[in-house]
Amino acid sequence: MTARAVVVAAPSSGSGKTTVATGLMAALRRRGTAVAPFKVGPDYIDPGYHTLAAGRPGRNLDPVLVGADRVAPLARHGAAGAQIAVVEGVMGLFDGRLADGEGSTAQVAGLLGAPVVLVVDCKGQSRSLAALLHGFRSFDPTLRVAGVVLNRVGSERHETVLRAAADEVGLPVFGALPRHDALVVPSRHLGLVTAVEHGVAATAAVDAMAELVAAHVDLDAVLTAAAPLPPGPAWSPEVAEPAPGRPRVVIFGGPAFTFGYAEHGELVAAAGAEVVVLDPLHAESLPEGTAALVLPGGFPEEHVGALGANAALRSDVAALAAAGAPLHAECGGLLYLCEALDGAPMCGVLPAAAAMTGRLTLGYRDAVALTASPLFEAGERVAGHEFHHCAVEPRAGSAPAWAWRGAEPEGFVRNGVHASFLHSHPAGRPDAVARFVAAAGSRSSANRHTVE
């Protein structure tokens, strides 16, 4: 069965894409439709709500991080067994990395051959909606805008005028959502509070989105508008030669470390490892036989007291690093490996202290590895993304991990540790994951031989 796909986009951020996309996923699932959830771009927060809504892992589609040629295969992989893929866009429909729209929602829709449902915040406008819709539909003639969902509609009369405006340009209205302040989800410095941290309230928010969309959006019209994903093979996490001995690789998770991609664990497992997900807020030690550790990004600064108080686990992590085990830390994981975070003790693996700042560092990076590590050879290039309010000082004491144009060398490579602010998508460099697991396998094998 080939899944059909539809992209939920908007003229700009803040128009209601997340409400409509998440509510659509949950409402369709409630009707018995198998839904595969996706998010355009390097967002780690929305996919958590998508996971709750669809009951399947929320996944990202990012041409910048994985390459345009991998977007459709990754969609086919994530949509296996589903009837429809619902793809939430990023920012405005045509907003991307550069002026050419690389990484935009429009590019992803084109790569998937998927129609677009445009969500428009209609507060403060009426017939002007016709001009907006005409512009978005005609700007790129290769893109199909299938219909519109009117958001923040003030009254029945307001809705009547807006529908007439859409009729003027011949664009179907799939639904009209009234203003509904109860759907506001708590936010912080990097966006919404993650679904894992929001707990029961996140489930309630998703339920409210589902009820709103089910009551005011024509689900059958959306399903009819969806188009089959393009034919071709699905992406596969398989590697040529899995590491022998099935080394145990621990991946941090839980509320403090939520910034990861579903494909990462799949690649680690396919490379021959036993994957163990560990919540450092509750686990008192690393599992026996841990051969390598993956520390993804997240919000450790929001849980700094609990992380600092867990001295036993911090000691285990420091000992693992001192023994030369492979450690891969991104952003939040980097903070955890420092000596301190906002004054609270961390693992002390890296000779630096981390602190929150008022300055947002955000954007894609074309990075070059400066130092060989268990992940990359020196000189290898990676497309990555930064997204943080943190500073780490001093940067000396270890070899730098990365360089990119217009910035000082960034990150740390120290023994088997590779730690930096750069987020990468493992599907963009599966060879790096295989190399990491192979290093874990070599260490695990050496330890077994020593014991024997």
CA 168 vs CA 115, 128, 407: distances in Å: 20, 11, 50
* Residue 295, pLDDT score: 98
> Is residue 6 exposed (0-12), middle (13-18) or buried (19+ Cβ within 10 Å)?
buried
**pLDDT value for 194:** 61
Residues taking part in catalysis: 331
CA 89 – CA 41 distance, rounded (Å): 8
- The residue with tokens 């980097």 is 334
How far, CA to CA in Å, does 107 sit from each of 49, 111, 289, 360, 383?
24, 6, 44, 26, 17
Please give the pLDDT value at position 187.
Answer: 47
- Residue 443 pLDDT: 75
CB of 263 closer than 8 Å to CB of 425: yes
Residue 100 tokens read as 């050419």
Measure CA of the first residue to CA of the last residue in the chain; give whole Å: 51
In 260-352 the beta strands, taken as DSSP E runs, fall at 274-278, 290-295, 327-330, 340-341, 344-345
* Regions in the chain scoring below 50 on pLDDT: 186-191, 449-452
Q: In terms of Cα–Cα distance, which of 189, 384, 420 is closest to 299?
A: 189
pLDDT of residue 198: 53
Report domain extents, the chain.
Answer: 4-228, 248-451
Q: What is the Cα 246 distance to its own chain's centre?
A: 27
What pLDDT does 451 receive?
37
Which residues, at least 6 apart from 269, have a Cβ–Cβ distance to it below 8 Å?
Answer: 237, 275
Q: Which CATH number fits domain 4-228: 3.40.50.1970, 3.30.200.20, 3.40.50.300, 3.40.50.720?
A: 3.40.50.300
**Alpha carbon 250 to chain centroid, angstroms:** 20
Q: Superfamily for 248-451?
A: Class I glutamine amidotransferase (GATase) domain (3.40.50.880)
The pLDDT value recorded for residue 452 is 39
Asked if 4-228 and 248-451 have one fold, the answer is yes
